[in-house]
């Protein structure tokens, strides 16, 4: 067998990679701690509310919401169930597709998002944006965009179930939407 030699990381690449790993662990945890302390929200709750608030009529098909939040169907279903119990969202049947469902932000969800957003944005500034110059923000944004695009193009890496769910969500598999239940 003629396996190619590993392309080991240089010292600079290793420092960058390890710094990224540390940021990836620490930043979401800090942001979530602050959201939870102030508003009893986790980052996924917040992301769901943001996605719904930015959508037409404050609602999204469950499949689209799963794609936007990178949650599996099962995890999103549990997430929406929890948020329904807190009266932040509700499920509505899709009139054009009996199997489909919408997640809809409620008035209480809107109110909580309006309350939480200013502090969360300030936290993002304090812990991320304001630590860089405008040029660094542009460079980091461009680099993360390139990486995100690559990752979106290869969704099946690491988990066949995730790949199947993505195919299902795209209408390529047996079910093209989440069931309402």
Kindly state whether residue 49 falls inside one of the protein's structural domains.
yes
Residue 112 lies in a domain: yes
R_g of the chain computed on alpha carbons: 19
Task: Give dist(CA 114, CA 91) in Å, integer.
Answer: 21
| CA distance linking residue 169 with residue 159, whole number of Å | 15
Instruction: Assess if residue 176 is contained within a domain.
Output: no
Handedness of CA 98, 99, 103, 106 (dihedral sign): positive
Q: pLDDT at position 96, please?
A: 79
Domain assignment of residue 134, yes or no: no
Q: Determine the structural domain holding residue 68 and report its residue range.
A: 43-119+159-169
pLDDT score, position 157: 46
Examine residue 56 and state whether it is found in any structural domain, yes or no. yes
Domain presence at residue 68: yes
How many domains does the chain contain in total?
A: 1
* CATH number of the domain that residue 85 is part of: 1.10.10.10
pLDDT tens track of the chain, all 181 residues? Answer: 688 999 999 999 999 999 999 999 999 999 999 999 999 999 999 999 999 999 999 999 999 999 999 999 899 999 999 999 999 999 999 887 777 899 999 999 999 999 999 999 999 999 999 999 999 999 999 999 999 999 988 755 444 444 454 445 455 443 433 333 3
CA distance 112 to 177: 28
The confidence score (pLDDT) of residue 97 equals 75
Domain-located, residue 174: no
* Nearest residue to 116 (alpha-carbon basis) of 53, 38, 29: 38
> What is the pTM for the complete model shown?
0.79
């Amino acid at each position: 067998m003629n396996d190619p030699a590993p392309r080991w990381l240089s010292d600079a690449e290793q420092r960058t990679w390890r710094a990224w790993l540390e940021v990836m662990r620490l930043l979401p945890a800090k942001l979530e701690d602050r959201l939870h302390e102030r508003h009893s929200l986790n980052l996924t709750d917040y992301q769901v509310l943001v996605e719904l608030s930015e959508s037409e009529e404050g609602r999204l098909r469950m499949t689209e919401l799963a794609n936007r939040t990178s949650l599996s169907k099962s995890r999103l279903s549990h997430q929406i169930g929890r948020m329904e119990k807190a009266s932040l969202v509700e499920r509505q049947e899709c009139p054009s597709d009996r199997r489909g469902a919408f997640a809809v932000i409620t008035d209480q969800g809107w109110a909580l998002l309006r309350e939480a957003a200013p502090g969360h944005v300030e936290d993002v500034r304090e812990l991320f944006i304001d630590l860089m110059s405008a040029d660094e923000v542009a460079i980091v944004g461009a680099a993360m965009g390139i990486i995100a695009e690559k990752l979106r193009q290869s969704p099946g890496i690491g988990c066949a179930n995730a790949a199947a769910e993505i195919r299902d969500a795209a209408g390529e598999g047996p079910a093209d939407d989440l069931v309402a239940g």
